[in-house]
Amino acid sequence: MQRMVFQRILIGFVTLWVVSVLVFVMTAALPGDVAQIVLGQSATPETLAAYRAERGLDQPLFIQYFAWLGDMLTGDLGISKAGGASISSLIADRLYNTMFLAAIVAVISVPISVSLGLLAAMYPGTWIDKSLTFGTLTLISVPEFFIATFMVLIFAVNLGWLPSVARVAQDDTGLELIRKLAMPTIVLVIVVAAQMIRMTRAGILNVMNSAYIEMAILKGVRRKRIILRHAFFNTIGPIVNVIALNLAYLVSGVVIVETIFAYPGLAKLMIDGVQTRDLPLVQACAMIFCGTYVMLIIFADVAAILANPRLRNPK
């Protein structure tokens, strides 16, 4: 067990290193000159050269990479090349906002998704199962920006119940915070819950065809008990992996929702960094996103191993 966990952690570190190389090379290949963007079109060649030398942009690419990687390992995210501020200070508040919204969505969506998936599996072929299947398939097919725009039109413009902008402030009361985060939270719950419901249902029904499940049915064990006590724990692996991927999406893939509701999150900060060609900021955000994915996938693998003893056998 310890060896398997260690192997997954080691694979995670290797993955992070490979991604760091790809992130650095790809961001360096972006068109445009950050010195020209910062200093403007009227900057002289001497001024541009001095700026590049001060920021280390005139060094070979591999030297820049190892310098950047060493700073990342020591926790130094560097200085924003566009604004001159510390990247840690730029990311801190945005990361908190993103994690706060992701935590709210996870607390709401995960129990609802697993419960509805189990409910659909308990009554396959009934109107409950057909309704959940049709509803989740419809929600998966509808893009999130359409759901967000539709909610803004209904709840903010026509009814006036909720604000269309989710700009939170430190002095917001509990009710104000709930009103501001209501629409982005509902949109994200709808987006991530549909996939988790379908995976839970599919995993349970797949295990229900196993021989030991058929034996339990022949013995007269109730379907509800079979699903909750036997089938569910054997489907923990794929379910947890889907949950982990959706939680990682809440950290890195919600730029559309953040843009529509003007929510100051980390994904929108990265897009702003791409527009200004602020490479250190883009690289730091990308590594945070990758680290989140790797950490959640490792957690999902360990949870699957703990829940299913058969996975502990390397054969």
Domains of the chain by start residue, with CATH: 88-286 (1.10.3720.10)
Q: Which one has a higher pLDDT value, 191 or 37?
A: 191
The yes-or-no verdict on residue 170 having pLDDT over 70 is no
- A 10 A CB-CB count for 35 gives 22
- Rounded-to-integer distance, Cα 286 and Cα 83, Å: 19
- pLDDT the model gives residue 41: 65
Contacts 24+ apart (CB under 8 A), 10-15: 12/294, 12/295, 12/297, 12/298, 15/290, 15/294
Cβ partners under 8 Å of residue 42, min gap 6: none
Evaluate whether 184 touches 263 at the Cβ level (below 8 Å).
yes
Residue range 159-165: average pLDDT?
77
Per-residue confidence at 141, pLDDT binned at 50, 70, 90?
confident
Type of residue at 65: Y
Residue range 232-247: average pLDDT?
76
Contacts 24+ apart (CB under 8 A), 159-167: 164/261, 165/261, 165/262, 166/261, 166/262, 166/263, 167/262, 167/263, 167/264
Residue range 92-99: average pLDDT?
80
Task: Identify the CA nearest to 167 among candidates 85, 109, 94.
Answer: 94
- pLDDT the model gives residue 58: 67
- Rounded-to-integer distance, Cα 97 and Cα 264, Å: 7
**DSSP class per residue in 224-271:** HHHIIIIIHHHTHHHHHHHHHHHHHHHHHS-HHHHHHTT---HHHHHH
Look up residue 91 and give its two tokens.
């990311």
Per-residue confidence at 169, pLDDT binned at 50, 70, 90?
low
Per-residue confidence at 234, pLDDT binned at 50, 70, 90?
confident
Evaluate whether 105 touches 188 at the Cβ level (below 8 Å).
yes
- pLDDT the model gives residue 263: 79
- pLDDT the model gives residue 47: 76
Per-residue confidence at 310, pLDDT binned at 50, 70, 90?
low
Residue range 170-182: average pLDDT?
74
